[in-house]
Amino acid sequence: MRKLVFVFVLFSSFCFAQNSNNYKAVIVPLKFDFIRTNNQYRLCTMSKMNLNKAGFTVFYANEILPKEYSDRCELLYYDIVKESAFLATKFHVELKDCSNNLIYKSESGYTKEKDTELAYSKALNAAFESIFKLNYKYEKMTVTTPAVALKNEVVPAIAPSTTNAAVQVEQTTAPELLYAQATPNGYQLVDASPKVVFKLYATSRPDLYIAVKGNNQGVFILKDKQWFFDYYVNEKLISEKVSVKF
């Protein structure tokens, strides 16, 4: 029962991760994989126009961004994906975060128009119909830890224990040292390259963060003076040791 409560709390807390409203603006590239030249068939121009219409602040990838948009992880990155379709043109639009995680995928736009430029325009506009329904409005990302979760002792339920056979420690080599960079809601942990490896979101406890690593979502928790990333895979609790310098 506690596992179910824990998963529910995580699910509720992480709904924001898939919410486009938490991002300040969208970056549109000058070229997509299926076209040969920058802004061919006016796809970039139409994309920016439609994104503006949907309420987004939009910049092209070659623009110098204003200071308030300098944090790349507060922005979304736009792409048009051309799908396979027999004697037709079919597009969908993707919005990803700074770690290349998919935040939003539109419904597919489809047309049998034969003229390429007209077909691309119709398919793209059709894909944007679902984006318009998002009713985008920027909201600063916040994370709230429900008080009931702490009262029901959800966190101790995932702490390591010699009697808990479901816990699997995922560590075969010494963990790479990561470096903490402060964000408005917690930290991001980067490696030496630097690449963002974790996103940490503060809770009411200084030894517990809600954490995202790629497609895995869980908690970042201090146990015996060592940080661990705890998350579930196929109903099994994984506890991954993390070396971090705050």
Do 103 and 176 belong together in one domain? no
Do 52 and 126 belong together in one domain? yes
Last-in-domain residue among 107, 132, 157: 132
| Residues 17, 162 contacting (CB under 8 angstroms) | no
Last-in-domain residue among 112, 132, 152: 132
Q: What confidence score (pLDDT) does residue 176 get?
A: 83
For 243, residues 6+ apart whose C-beta sits below 8 A from its C-beta are 174, 175, 176, 177, 178, 227
144 part of a folded domain: no
For 97, residues 6+ apart whose C-beta sits below 8 A from its C-beta are 23, 73, 76, 77, 103
Q: What is the mean pLDDT of residues 10-20?
A: 47
Q: Which domain holds residue 206?
A: 165-245
7 part of a folded domain: no
9 part of a folded domain: no
Last-in-domain residue among 132, 154, 188: 132
| Residues 225, 157 contacting (CB under 8 angstroms) | no
| Global model pTM greater than 0.85 | no
Looking at the structure of the chain, the number of domains it has is 2
Q: What confidence score (pLDDT) does residue 56 get?
A: 97
CATH code at 30?
A: 3.30.160
Average pLDDT, the chain: 82
Strand segments (E) across 84-134: 89-96, 102-105, 109-111
Phi, psi of 210 (to 5 degrees): -80, 135
71 part of a folded domain: yes
Q: What confidence score (pLDDT) does residue 139 get?
A: 83
For the segment 100-159, what is each residue's pLDDT rounded down to a tens digit?
889 899 999 999 999 999 999 999 999 999 999 999 999 876 544 444 444 444 444 444
Q: Tell me 118's DSSP state.
A: H
Do 36 and 104 belong together in one domain? yes
The two structure tokens encoding residue 109: 């736009």
Do 118 and 218 belong together in one domain? no
Do 69 and 117 belong together in one domain? yes
Do 57 and 99 belong together in one domain? yes
Do 128 and 171 belong together in one domain? no
For the segment 169-212, what is each residue's pLDDT rounded down to a tens digit?
555 456 788 988 888 888 999 888 888 999 999 888 888 999 99
pLDDT at 28 over 70: yes
Do 97 and 188 belong together in one domain? no
* Distance separating alpha carbons of residues 235 and 238, to the nearest angstrom: 9
